[in-house]
Amino acid sequence: MSVLLVGMSHRSAPVSMLERVSVADTDQPKTLARLLEEDAVSEAMLVSTCNRVEYYVAARGFHAGLSAVIREIVDRSGLDVDDLTPHLYVRYAEGAAEHMLSVASGLDSMVIGEQQIIGQIRAAYQSADEHGAVGRTLHDLAQRSLHTGKRVHSETDIDEAGASMVSVAVDEAIRAINPDYRPGDADGLAGNNALILGAGAMSSLAATHLGRAGVSHITVANRTLDRAQNLADHSIEAGVPARAIALEDYRDVLDDVDILVTATGAMSPVVLIDHVRDAGPLAIADLSMPRDVEDGVGELQGIALFDIERLQMTSTRELGRDDEIAARAIVDEELKSYLQAQRALEAAPTVKALREKAAEVVSAELLRLEAKTPGLTEREREEVGRTVRRVVDKLLHVPTVQVKKLSGEPGGTSYAQALQRLFDLPLSTPQSLYADTDIPADLMVGDRMGRMRGTADIEGIMRSTTGGNRG
C-alpha cells in the first residue's frame, strides 16, 4: 500500500483558494469516512491548518488514489478541477514521506522553524486514529514525522529563528500600535488592552504572547463562555488581568481595546465592516482560515489588519544557513531510516511463509520416519525431531537474515520476490512504499515551484477520473 499526498498550501495557492478547500475540525470525520468508502483508499489522514490542507492516504495505486482524493476536494469545495489544478501538489511514495517529515520539522512553514505544526500533525493523526481511518502505513509515517520534528527542534537552533505564525502575526499587530516594539520586549504593550475572539489553541498562544509583551488587560470572547473563562483564568494566573464575555458581545468592548486577535474557526466572517467602522485606531490579527475578518475591513481608516494573506507577502524570517542544513540533515537521516524499516517490513511475510513451509516439510518427513521406524522409543523420536529442526533452522537463518537486511535497500523487494519463486511461496509481490514505481515520487500539479518531474499528465488523470468511483 503506497502513501499518496494531495495538498495545497500557502506556497501554492492564494488565501481565497485555501479557504475554499479548508476542512473544519467538525467536518473532518465525515471527510475521512467518505475517503475510506473509496475502493482505492484503505487509510486516510487530513491536515487542515491556516496555511495548508493536505490529504494523506494509503492508496492501492497512484491513479485510483489520486482520483479519489480529487473527487473529495471537488465535491467539498465546489471548485472546478481546472481551477484547482494549478494550485495542488501531489507527492507519492518516498516523496510523500519526505514531505510529511519536512512539514513536521517546520521546514515548509510560512515562518520557517515554527513549532505549532507538530501539534497540528499530532492532532490530525489522533483524530484519524480515533475514527478508525489510520492503519499501519499512516501510523508509521505519522509517528516517524513527529519523532523527526522533535529531533529537529531539540538538536538544532531552529527554535531561535522560527516563531509560530501566531507570534509573527501578533508582533506585526503590536508594531502597528508601537512602532518601536521589538519581539521579546516585555513592555511593548504597556498601557494597551487586547480583545481575543475564540478560545482554542491559537487564541491561547496569542494570549500568552500578548502577556509576554506586557499587555495591560485581555478580554476573551467566545461562543462557549466557560471556555472563554478558562482562557481568561490562565491569563490571570500568568499575571495578566483578564475577563470573559460572550462572543456576540464583543462589539461592546471595541472602544476599550487597542489590539484585536481573532481565531474563532468560523466558516464565515465574524468581524464585519460595520462592526469596526468607528473602532480605530485598532490593530487586528486574523489567525483564522477561513478568515474571520470581512473583506474591506483593512481598508477602513484607523484599522491595521494582519491576516494570513498579508503574512504570506511580508513574512521574511528564515533560518540561518547552518540551522537549515542541520535540520534538513536530520530529516534526510530519519527518512532513510524510515524507508529502510518499511522495505524490511515488506520481507517479513515472505520470511514467515518460508519458515512455515519449512515447518510443514519437517512435520511431514517426521511422520514418514515414524512409520518406517517403529522400533524407536519416544525419547529417540523427540531427539530426531529436535535435530532435524535445528538443521533446518540453521540452513534458513542466514538467508532469512540477509533477505531482511537486503530488503532495506532501494529495490530490495526483488530479494523477497526471489525467495517466493525459489520456494514456490503463496504470496504476491510486496506492495507498499514502492508500488507503482513508474510514477515519479514527487509530482507538482501545474508545474508549481518548478518541481514537476516526469511526463504524467495529472490534469488529464483528474479530468478523466472525477466521474465517481466510490465503493
Bridge partners, residue 47, by sequence: 54
Integer Cα distance of 177 and 182 in angstroms: 12
Asked whether 346 and 430 are in contact (CB, 8 A), the reply is yes
Integer Cα distance of 427 and 6 in angstroms: 31
DSSP 188: T
Mapping DSSP to helix (H, G, I), strand (E, B) and coil, where does residue 175 land? helix
**What is 423-469 written as a DSSP string?**
TT-S-PPP-STTSSTTS-SEE-GGGGGG---SS--HHHHHHHHTT--
SS (H, E, C) 103-143: HHCCCCCCCCCCCHHHHHHHHHHHHHHHCCCCCHHHHHHHH
Q: Catalytic residue at 50?
A: yes
Q: Starting from the edge strand earliest in sequence, which strands make up the sheet with 89-92, in order?
A: 41-48, 52-59, 2-9, 89-92, 442-443
Integer Cα distance of 286 and 293 in angstroms: 7
Say which residue the cell 484599522 belongs to.
303
Integer Cα distance of 40 and 62 in angstroms: 9
Which residue, among 9, 100, 3, 113, has the nearest Cα to 51 in the 3D structure? Answer: 9
Answer left, alpha or beta for residue 217, where phi above 0 means left and psi between -120 and 50 means alpha. Answer: beta
Integer Cα distance of 105 and 119 in angstroms: 11
Peptide bond into 440 cis (omega under 30): no
User: Which residue out of 21, 40, 45, 50 is catalytically annotated?
Assistant: 50
CA distances from residue 447 to 80, 87, 457 in whole angstroms, order as listed: 18, 9, 11
CA distances from residue 356 to 382, 383, 398, 420, 436 in whole angstroms, order as listed: 20, 21, 16, 13, 29
The residue length of the chain stands at 471
DSSP 320: -
Where in the sequence numbering do the catalytic residues fall? 50
